[in-house]
Amino acid sequence: MTPIPPGADVLTIGELSERSGVPSSALRFYERQGLIRSRRTTGNQRRYSRATLRQVAFIRASQNVGVPLGLIGEVLAFLPDDAAPTQEFWERASSCWRDMLNSRIKQLERMRDLFTECIGCGCLSFDQCQLINPGDKLGEQGPGPRRLVKS
Ligand code: FES
């Protein structure tokens, strides 16, 4: 673990939370997932570099467009320690994710159209309704009752 140099410009978790608007619990979760990193004081308190603010902004913006945390972490792993994501970094990440996001948008549009049909129908049929049983996946499991959600 790299020691914190005296006089280093670092943030406590409370300061990072206040400045980013992200609850401390979420910041600790991001850290456990390896998305952000902290150093520890001799009293074992977290300290974050100022660049972490932009990393958290990057995480939130990515989450807001539906990018899973695992993918966000893979991209953030390319950033050197204590480096803030730049505009170029964001452009490269967003271009990597564009195809995935377009595919998700198309899937959501299909679901929206099916949902619109179902509002007018209301049958909630396991045999016919594509929202309840897309592609008759339950039928592929053979005859008899099937669960909608596995517990
Ligand atoms: S509710 Fe009838 S097809 Fe979905």
- pLDDT tens across 99-133, in order? 889 998 999 999 898 888 888 888 888 888 888 88
pLDDT band of residue 141 (cuts 50, 70, 90) is confident
Give the amino acid at 34. G
Which of 110, 127, 129, 138 has most ligand 1 atoms within 8 Å of CB, for mutation? 129
Pick the CATH number of 10-140 from 3.90.226.10, 3.30.530.20, 1.10.1660.10, 3.40.50.300: 1.10.1660.10
Residues 6+ apart with CB under 8 A from 79: 55, 85, 89
In sequence order, the β-bridge partners of residue 10 are 49
Q: Is the CB of 100 under 6 A from ligand 1?
A: no
143 CB neighbour count, 10 Å cutoff? 6
How many angstroms separate the alpha carbon of residue 116 from the centre of ligand 1? 9
Give the amino acid at 43. G
- Pair of tokens at residue 41: 């004081």
H/E element holding 102? helix 87-121
Going from N- to C-terminal start, the domains of the chain cover 10-140
Q: Is the dihedral of CA 131, 132, 138, 139 positive or negative?
A: negative
pLDDT band of residue 40 (cuts 50, 70, 90) is very high
* Global pTM value: 0.72
The mean pLDDT of the chain is 87
